Amino acid sequence: MNAMTYEQCLKEMYGLRRFGIVLGLDVIECILKGLGNPHQKFACIHVAGTNGKGSIASTLAAILTDAGYRTGLYTSPHLIRFNERIRIDGDDIADDAVIEAYRAVKSIPHGDREPTFFEYTTAMAFYAFAKAKVQWGVIETGMGGRLDATNCLSPELSIISNISKEHSMYLGNTLSKIAYEKGGIIKSSKPVVTAAHQKPVIDVLRRIAVEKKAPFYRLGEDFRIRRHRKNGFPSTFSYYGIDHDYQNVKTSLAGAHQADNAAVVIAASEILMGDKADISENNIRAGLLHVKWPGRIEILPLSPTVIIDGAHNLAAARRLSLFLKDYAQGRPITLVIGILDDKPYPAMLRCLLPLAHRVIFTQPEIDRRLTAQTLYTCSRNLLPGKPVPAEIVENVGAAVETALRSTPPEHLVCIAGSLYVAGEARQALQGMGALHQNLRVP
């Protein structure tokens, strides 16, 4: 086979998106079998949920790495580079590893149906982890759980962060139906940890756990927390757990909801502490404090301060709104926002617009975007009696630069509405940091 460049590899992979989303396990299992079942060569934790699964997965990976295990982390989507999806011991895999994994997967007969982009990337991640001899893999689902391409795993532990309505076309239009799909990752006799709180969701998840004889642990019932300050940064709380209590715990991730995510992580760590993994309290504290999860209420120490949050659905927009009310402390906010067309954008705007002193509507490059004009028009109807100064800057990078150059240093800039917007904004800020000495992006 001729040598392939990284750019050619990405072009071919992104071309797979034309096949859309197809839920089912036949194709991925066929590919993995052809690869020698790489997903069976490491212990793993499987994480599903509507919001918070990425934060939970990345923190668990940080804890396992701190405990001395070679650890793989698979998440989606990426913000800037594809390699972010597949990480080993906290580092994105190299371009050459992406090419090798892609070529390995491409060489496997896949049956009657062409694999989707997500099926390819999932198989690539498992191949890369086996090749690197990882000991633990922390795997985030893409969509749902039961028929998600990642659900060929046999995890030591399953985690379901929380559940709200999303992807109704694929997962169902009620919480119970969505819970059934997410609960599909629960495996026979293997523990499951959840932060779900709605009764219909808990009933479904508990029923699945009982049927599969899977020990069931729920936040607020089997373990709990007491926040020291509701929306403080960093989040500080006390943890009262399954077998351990920890005082004055801190997580580097901002927002009150991150304390709940951290509690799920600690409960999972407690379960693994038995005969599964050698994890100490120090490993837990270090992982929580040092984990980085860009684009999720990420605070950048620029002038003015910039907050980037994907806030890609209504639940996430509400959480961002709560955080901003507390964090801003009266400082005016310039909001840069772009949203995808399958999201409840009027409700999301209703959460965030009242906090803004000024709004810049934008749109990411992905074809699923809402136009900035659509968002602008909607905003006029939502707040007819209290118009907020607003403008349209369609390109995300240009919108970010406009916000920074016209916002006083003592104000805040918040960039939100989509992980694709967050990624393009971070990329723009990195470029501006190279061009302008007054902008330093971590």
Which of 435 and 263 is assigned the larger pLDDT?
263
Pairing of strands 224-227, 216-218: unpaired
What pLDDT was estimated at residue 278?
Answer: 96
Relative orientation angle of helices 257-272 and 53-66, to the nearest 10 degrees: 40
Tell me which long-range contacts 299-303 makes (C-beta under 8 A, separation of at least 24). 299/233, 299/254, 300/429, 300/441, 300/442, 301/440, 301/442, 302/404, 302/429, 302/439, 302/440, 302/441, 303/409, 303/438
Give whole-number Cα distances, 277 to 109, 270, 280, 305, in Å: 36, 10, 9, 40
Please, which pLDDT band fits residue 233 given cuts at 50, 70 and 90? low
Residue 302 bridge partners (DSSP): none
Q: What is the mean pLDDT of residues 61-75?
A: 98
Res 163: pLDDT: 86
Fold of 298-435: Protein-Tyrosine Phosphatase; Chain A (3.90.190)
**Average pLDDT of every residue of the chain:** 91
**pLDDT score of 268:** 98
Say what the pTM is: 0.91
Collapsing DSSP to helix, strand or coil, 100 comes out as helix
Mean pLDDT to the nearest integer, 279-283: 97
pLDDT of residue 149: 94
Query: Sorting pLDDT into bands at 50, 70 and 90, what band is 169?
Result: low
pLDDT of residue 88: 98
Q: Rounded to an integer, what distance in angstroms lies between the CA atom of residue 300 and that of residue 415?
A: 11
Q: What pLDDT was estimated at residue 228?
A: 84
Q: What average pLDDT does range 336-348 have in this prediction?
A: 94
> What local confidence, expressed as pLDDT, does residue 16 receive?
85
- Tell me what pLDDT residue 1 has: 44
- The pLDDT score that the predictor gives to residue 170 is 58
**pLDDT above 90 coverage of the chain, percent:** 77
The span from the CA of 283 to the CA of 281, in Å, is 5
According to DSSP, the residues that pair with 48 across neighbouring strands are 160
Residue of higher predicted confidence among 280 and 231: 280
The predicted pLDDT at position 437 comes to 42
On the question of a common fold for 6-290 and 298-435, the answer reads no
Q: Which pLDDT score, from 0 to 100, does residue 441 have?
A: 43
DSSP code of residue 410:
T
Output the pLDDT for position 130.
98
CATH of domain 6-290: 3.40.1190.10
Determine what percent of the chain is predicted with pLDDT higher than 70.
93
Q: How confident is the model at residue 6 (pLDDT cuts 50, 70, 90)?
A: very high
What local confidence, expressed as pLDDT, does residue 79 receive? 92
pLDDT attached to residue 45: 98
pLDDT tens digit string along 143-157? 888 999 999 999 999
User: With bands split at pLDDT 50, 70 and 90, how would you rate the model's confidence at 438?
Assistant: very low
- The answer to whether residue 420 scores a pLDDT higher than 80 is yes
Please state, in angstroms and rounded to a whole number, the distance separating the CA atoms of residues 415 and 223.
34
Q: Are 231 and 328 in contact (CB under 8 A)?
A: no
What pLDDT, on a 0 to 100 scale, did the predictor assign at position 372?
96
What is the average pLDDT across 101-127? Answer: 92
Sheet holding 192-194, edge to edge: 91-92, 86-88, 71-74, 136-140, 43-48, 157-160, 192-194, 216-218
- Cβ neighbors of 84 (< 8 A, separation 6 or more) are 75, 78, 92
CA distances, 179 to each of 139, 165, 166, 208, 212 (Å): 19, 10, 11, 10, 16
* 118, pLDDT greater than 80: yes
Q: What is the pLDDT of residue 2?
A: 59
Domain boundaries, the chain: 6-290, 298-435
Written as one letter, the residue type at 126 is: F
